[in-house]
Structure 1
Amino acid sequence: MDRPTNSTCPEGFLDRLDAFSQIGTTDDGGVDRVEASPANGLARRELARRMEAAGYRVLVDGIGNMFGLLELAEQFAGQEAPWVFAGSHIDSQPKGGRLDGAYGVLAALEAGQALKERLAGRPAKANLAVVAWTGEEGARFQPSLLGSSVHAGILPLEQALARKDGNGVSVADALDAIGFRGRDQAPKPSAYVELHVECAPALENSNTRLGVFDRWWGAHKLELLFTGATAHTGPTPMAKRKDALLAAAEVITGLRRLADAAPAGALHTSVGRLEVLPNSPNVVPDSAKLFIEIRSVDAKVMADTHARLMELIPYAATLARVAHRIVRDEYRAPGAFEIGLRTLAREEADHLGILPMSLETIAAHDAMPVAKLCPSVVIAVPSRDGLCHSPREWTDPRDLELGVAWLGGILERLVVDGPESV
């Protein structure tokens, strides 16, 4: 294949990224675009507008995934030409950063538009789709990676639509409220590339500008409910209390001790969300729901930690004189991204004069469920201080532009030579 005549970032990309970041902006410089919120709906409409203005055909499927289609190979390979996907997500955490997810979607949009102009009638063996997946973050609806899991056939659509947030609103109702529960049938990918900020400090610490994720950590996520009885926190004797929050505290601290006792860097545990009722200063809590995570690249470490957790839970319940129940139990195995795409990404980085770093992703990405469908890879640019899910999330603008150029080169190879060439 001839080398691209223009592998630079499209002019004005940073300004367009900044403008998109104003949707759902918060006072501290971050964004709040949790899935199917009003701000998320505004961002979706703006993305659709940009896709259509750039010549993409926009589809929205039953779980709200958005696809911008460029039929680059139609005149050469017909309607049966394979599809190369690129993208990420535009939903955020409640106090999220402006780059996590949205950077990958907007970079893919602009890289695809530039590629269309560069091809200018040259034969292509694949079409291109830019995708914004629904509910990647898992902030409002669980599990995370919701839309990509539906597209990959891992999670049935009906089950996904029935998931409810903390206020009892279903995914289906929330998407209807913003007008983005679609009916379109989107194509399936033959290759998927996701550009992301690293969300970790490895690239910055090594003074490296580009990274390729070789594999991902697994995650075991559980919702655990302790149920006790309300009572007055003043006169009720300590020995008579049925304190659900006490049991939760024992599990939270016990999980941390498990992580601290593991070899350095081998295990991450957390309880990132805790729902306590009635949540009054002078009432013994009768309900405490914990959102638990166990993460490791080693499936045995995860299994051993889960077994220890299953011993810890009844101990905590007995200590606090409460009942316990697992409300949700979801497991995602560790895995590796496709070696051919990883090699292609390194080759294209070399054309830009960069030796990329090999990375592991502890954070989840939509490329993981999509890997069940087709070769998949995540590539990354640095995150200052490794920060992500934070208003202080930041990446050097020069690295943001470099990432777009890198993605453009990868997509050109896949579109012109075909995914089967990797």
Structure 2
Amino acid sequence: MTTAAPSADDFLTDFHHVATFGATAANGVDRQAATAEDKLSRDWFAGFVADRGWELRVDGIGNMFALIEFVPGAPYVLIGSHLDSQPLGGRFDGAYGVIAALHAAERVAADVGDSGGRATFNLGVVNWFNEEGGRFAPSIMGSSVFAGLMDENEMLRVRDLDGVSVAEALDAIGYRGDDPRPAVAGYAEIHIEQGRILEREGIDIGAVDSSWYTQKLDVEVIGEQSHTGATAMADRHDALVAASKVVLLVHDVTTKFVAQDGSGDDVIVSSVGRFTVEPNSPIVVARRVHLVADLRSASPEIVQAARDGLIADIAAIAKEHDIAIEVRDFDVRDIQRFPHTGVELVEKVAADLGLSVRPIRTMAGHDSVPMNRIVPTVMMFIPSVDGVSHCEREFSTDDDMVSGLGALTRVAWEMVHGALAEDAS
């Protein structure tokens, strides 16, 4: 037996309702981790679970699990994503995957009951804590703690720019739990692509087969505070001027690497996304700037070469401006290759549903990346209009979301009934 599709109307009603939590004037959402807006989405998740009589667990880092038991004592196939957003972010990133997972799980649970058959594994839906990392760095925190890649106590001590710790923020909204984490047999996630490939090629579903190599640099520029009017230019040690040059270095490092096939495609991308200035006064030369640089490529060697070049160039800037610049490597993530059997499962499901499909890599990080380290993991994409994400203009159509919901439902059904079980052994 293969499971039927969930109600498209019910799913879309819930999706567009959740998009009102933290809604912005430009049709986005601002629902950063462990804020009041995030609490609204978490309360909605908990209500969905309670209405269906499922078990709800919340672990010590704020991950939420909706658990449906088919086989007492068996591990769970988890499906889901995250409900937190970037500041002034989009309403699709993450939330689509959680809401689709809840509706897929409801359909699978009904069909398992109706079939009278015996599933191999239980089924759970997860809302991971702080995937975005906009308020608390690093990103992909909840799933990385779950997978044993980050230390829970260390992550609970992380503080936002206002000095609030993860533990304090979770306590404030009532979502630092102490429930045991479920044993897992597999994981599946559906997400907007956050790129243009599927839209450009007219493809319905992307079956993710690998992720890019990622690493960040934590950069602290330490100058000397002084008066903007009374201090001679030659006597200044301006941290902001030096930091501005570092930003340009990070941006321009990508021009040193070009695709060998002549396609003109990016082989490395870079950015500075967080930049804080002290004391940030209009009449004070900055004494300290903290910034985070992000380097990503399909080639670890290219990232390493870019990183080494930046370190040398940043040292030269420090010498030029007679200031100190401290650079620390962090949040380094190796390339992850997703199970070939999982890619084949997505291709089979898509064919059964009459959907077009292609293998695709992910340049962005997702909760599926740490989960793929511990259990067989399936990652799927649906098209993103213009490839835009992490902003209010982010958009995917209702039709594409519903198609992806159908695919996730079939994948969950297959995994609950033993698909990818051999990869777990």
Interval containing the TM-score (normalised by the shorter chain)? over 0.9
Q: Give the Cα–Cα distance (whole angstroms) in 2 for the partners of residues 421 and 336 of structure 1.
A: 17
Corresponding position of 2:69? 71
* Matching residue of 1:113: 106
- Give the deviation of 1:275 after TM superposition: 0.3
- Indicate whether 1:348 and 2:355 are aligned: no
User: What is the deviation of 1:265?
Assistant: 1.2
Alpha-carbon separation, structure 2, partners of 1:146 and 1:252: 26
Fraction of identical pairs, as percent = 36
Match of 2:56 among 55, 58, 61: 58
Query: Is 1:100 the counterpart of 2:87 in the alignment?
Result: no
Q: Is the 8 A contact 1:36 1:175 kept in 2?
A: yes
Aligned equivalent of 2:123? 128
The Cα of 1:128 is off from its aligned counterpart by: 0.4
Residue aligned with 1:155, SS: coil
1:83 aligns with 2:73: no
Alignment map for 1:383-398 (pairs within 5 Å): 383-398=384-399
Opposite residue 28 of structure 1, the aligned amino acid is A
Partner Cα separation in structure 2 for residue 347 and residue 7 of structure 1: 16
1:386 Cα shift? 0.4
For the pair 1:160 / 2:163, whether they are aligned, the reply is no
Q: Secondary structure at the match of 2:417?
A: helix
Other-structure match for 2:44: 46
Tell me which residue corresponds to 2:280.
279
Cα separation, 2, equivalents of 1:133 and 1:346: 26
Superposition RMSD in Å: 1.4
Report the alpha carbon displacement of residue 337 of structure 1 after superposing the two structures with TM. Answer: 1.1
Aligned-pair CA distance for 1:233: 2.0
Q: Quick one: distance in 2 between partners of 1:329 and 1:156?
A: 14
Give, in whole Å, the separation in 1 of the partners of 2:320 and 2:183. Answer: 51
Q: TM-score, normalization: structure 2? A: 0.95
Residue identity matched to 2:81: S
Other structure's SS at 2:179 match? coil
Amino acid at match of 1:108: A
Q: Deviations over 1:329-375 (max 9, x none)?
A: 22111221111111101110111112312211111100101111101
Is this contact kept in 2: 1:10–1:110, CA < 8 A?
A: no
Are 1:84 and 1:419, in contact at CA under 8 Å, matched by a contact in 2?
no
Q: Is the 8 A contact 1:140 1:165 kept in 2?
A: yes
Query: In structure 2, what is the Cα distance between the partners aligned to 1:209 and 1:178?
Result: 38
Alpha-carbon displacement from aligned partner over 1:302-322 (angstroms, at most 9, x marks no partner): 111111111022111112221
Asked if the contact 2:336/2:372 (under 8 Å) is kept, the reply is no
Distance 1:123 1:297, change over 3 A: same
Superposition deviation, residue 327 in structure 1? 5.4
**1:278-322 CA distances to partner (integer Å, 9 max, x unpaired)?**
112232111111111011111101111111111022111112221
- Structure 2 CA distance for aligned equivalents of residues 387 and 47 of structure 1: 26
Q: Secondary structure at the match of 1:417?
A: coil
Amino acid at match of 2:225: T
Instruction: Give the match for residue 304 of structure 1.
Output: 305
The alpha carbon displacement at 1:216 in A equals 0.4
Q: Secondary structure at the match of 1:414?
A: helix
Q: Secondary structure at the match of 2:153?
A: helix
**Equivalents in 2 of 1:168, 1:413: separation in Å?**
45
CA deviation after TM superposition for structure 1 residue 103, in Å: 0.5
Letter in 2 for 1:244: A
SS of equivalent to 1:335: coil
- Distance between the aligned counterparts of 1:161 and 1:226, measured in 2? 26
Within the candidate set 193, 202, 226, 1:198 is matched to 193
Check conservation: 1:9, 1:402, Cα contact below 8 A. no
Question: Hey, what's the Cα distance between the residues in 2 that align with 1:139 and 1:361?
Answer: 20
Q: What is the one-letter code of the residue matched to 2:83?
A: I
Is the 2:121–2:185 Cα contact (8 Å) retained in structure 1? Answer: no
1:131 Cα offset (Å): 0.2
Q: Could you say which residue in structure 2 is the equivalent of 1:224?
A: 219
